[in-house]
Amino acid sequence: MGAAVNPQSPASKLPLVVRTAICRAFLRTEVGRTMGSLVGMTLAESRQIQAYEGPAEEYAGITAEALLISGTKAAPYFTEINDRLAAVIPRAQTLRVPGSPHNGIAVAPPTLINPLTTFFTTPTSPATQR
């Protein structure tokens, strides 16, 4: 469960049969059933990720302000990708959320919500509006 998303997690080191049993038990919970109903959307999202996979430089034309977020407990590649994108997107900034896993938005810690609130409520200056 989650081995592909975060191969550094302790759960990813468990034998496949154990991860499968944990996943089956999880899918019997209310949260698990909700997550199971989202699998179709996740597959569509994964196809979009593959379709737009490429060097960070391909995103240099993005002119919008962008906030690229990763959690300190998420797989390191999330932060690596964000750093590469922030280096080429002119108005991008990164945020590492302390103690946040991959699904930090589901937990919504103040270390995520407060910077998001600031990002979305701070007006852009006329010189940067497009």
Residue 111 in this model has a pLDDT that exceeds 50 = yes
Indicate the SS3 state at residue 96: strand
What pLDDT is stored for residue 126 in this prediction?
60
Give the pairing type, strands 66-71 and 92-97: parallel
pLDDT for residue 13: 87
The stretch 106-120 carries a mean pLDDT of 86
Name the percent of the chain lying above pLDDT 70. 91
pLDDT bucket at 107, cuts 50 / 70 / 90: confident
Measured CA to CA in angstroms, residue 78 lies from 4, 46, 69, 112 at distances of 12, 15, 8, 15
CA distance 4 to 41: 17
pLDDT in tens, 11-52: 888 999 999 999 999 999 998 999 889 888 888 888 988 888
| E strands present in 11-127 | 66-71, 92-97
Record the pTM.
Answer: 0.68
Over residues 115-126, mean pLDDT: 84
Three-class DSSP labels, 14-40: CCHHHHHHHHHHHCCCHHHHHHHHCHH
Side chain identity at residue 123, one-letter code: P
